[in-house]
Amino acid sequence: MYYERPPKKRRFFSYFIVALIAAIVGGIISAYIAPTYLYGKVLPIPGNYDEKAPYNAGQQINITPSEDISSVEAVAKKAMSSVVGITTVQVQRELIWEWEVEGVGSGIIVNPNGYILTNSHVVGDGKAKKISVLFENGDMLPGKLLWYDKALDLAVVKVEATGLPVADLGDSDSLEVGQLAVAIGNPLGLDFQRTVTAGIISGLNRSIRVDEYNIIDNLIQTDASINPGNSGGPLLNNKGEVIGINTVKIKSSAAKGLGFAIPINVVKPIIEQIVEEGDFKIVYLGVTGIEVERYERQIGVELSVDKGVILLEIDANSPADKAGLRSGDILVKMDNQEIESMNQLKKILYKYKKGDKANLTIIRNGKEMSVSVVFNQMK
């Protein structure tokens, strides 16, 4: 039997009619039948999930991107006028030659009468021959170094001015990972002054070794972009409050977006005393020492402990002398806080006031001992 195929045009028209009918039926089901008979009974209602379902067990969080953007803008407007640029001139010497080297960094105004907080390394750790401070309005004033501490990497510079815009200081002890963090500074010199970058608090209580003998601990880690020249500038929270002073950035091709800041709570009592008395002093212990690891390497011996400070000299009539410490003792703890270096010991002393007591754990002749010291002197 011979069967004749229908023409192609007729077949195409038949498929079109079938598809049109299917679309009409589907629309009727979606619009009228599904809401009444299917959704909530056979199918879940879109956007209204079962409260007992495992994928809806957590708290619902709504995120509006525009809120973050406006927060950064508000923080910048609030804090910008209190951020300054700091330029320095330092004399470098080598054998019989010497030459001047210029440096640039950032700072933050912490008192209307000209007190500016920055990093110690911005002012050459006290070796800067000349310090100049550039304000938002374009004024440039000479600065005088009042105080610095290399171990903390902090310094206070004074200019002769009054009525300056002051930054609000926040509470760095209340920080949480994930909070907004905004950095303001001069990342690559004064040509890019008061650059604003934003990110989050990436970590807390970080420790970074900045050189062979100095470890800066208790740092705030952020992914807000921090570059040379940002040093000394503020790290701010979403309220525009200073929560840290930007200090170091890891220089590694494998570690990008890692910036660090000194918590502002560390420096609050220092600022207060400097404004009131013109200087800051810490309690005096009266010891000279060297790190265990460094001592072993230089002398070529192996000691019974891995960490600590070997006391080489005890000052006469000092708190350490009166407590009975001896040359050769290894100081390993102060009030249960481990001691690893002289710089760390110095930073711990910032926590004590005149008249305070501390319990020292030492190793003497291979045996652990406890010694009590009274801080009755300042230096």
What pLDDT is stored for residue 12 in this prediction? 46
Q: Rounded to whole angstroms, how far apart are CA atoms 258 and 224?
A: 8
Query: Can you say how many angstroms the Cα of residue 12 is from the centroid of all Cα atoms in its chain?
Result: 70
If you search the block for the tokens 């010694």, which residue do you land on? 371
The one catalytic residue in 121, 149, 172, 329 is: 121
Domain regions of the chain by residue span: 1-57, 78-158, 172-277, 287-374
Q: What is the mean pLDDT of residues 71-91?
A: 91
Confidence band for 165, pLDDT divided at 50, 70 and 90: very high
DSSP codes joined into one string, 221-272: EE-S---TT-TT-EEE-TTS-EEEEEEEE---TT--S-EEEEEHHHHHHHHH
The one catalytic residue in 106, 172, 202, 231 is: 231
> Is 60 exceeded by the pLDDT of residue 219?
yes
Give the pLDDT confidence of 271-322 residue by residue, as tens digits.
999 999 888 888 999 999 998 888 888 888 888 888 899 999 999 999 999 9
3-state secondary structure labels for all residues of 24-88: HHHHHHHHHHHHHHHECCCECCCCCCCCCCHHHCCCCCCCCHHHHHHHHHHHHHHHHHHEEEEEE
Q: What is the mean pLDDT of residues 204-221?
A: 79
Architecture of domain 172-277: Beta Barrel (2.40)
Specify whether 315 is catalytic.
no
Class of domain 287-374: mainly beta
The one catalytic residue in 106, 120, 149, 153 is: 153
Q: What is the mean pLDDT of residues 73-98?
A: 89
Q: Which amino acid is at 333?
A: K
| Equal CATH topology for 78-158 and 172-277 | yes
Q: What percent of the chain has pLDDT over 70?
A: 77
Specify whether 121 is catalytic.
yes
Q: Quick check: 339 and 308 in contact, CB under 8 A?
A: yes
Confidence band for 174, pLDDT divided at 50, 70 and 90: very high
Specify whether 231 is catalytic.
yes
What pLDDT is stored for residue 294 in this prediction? 86
In the CATH hierarchy, which fold is given to the domain comprising 78-158? Thrombin, subunit H (2.40.10)
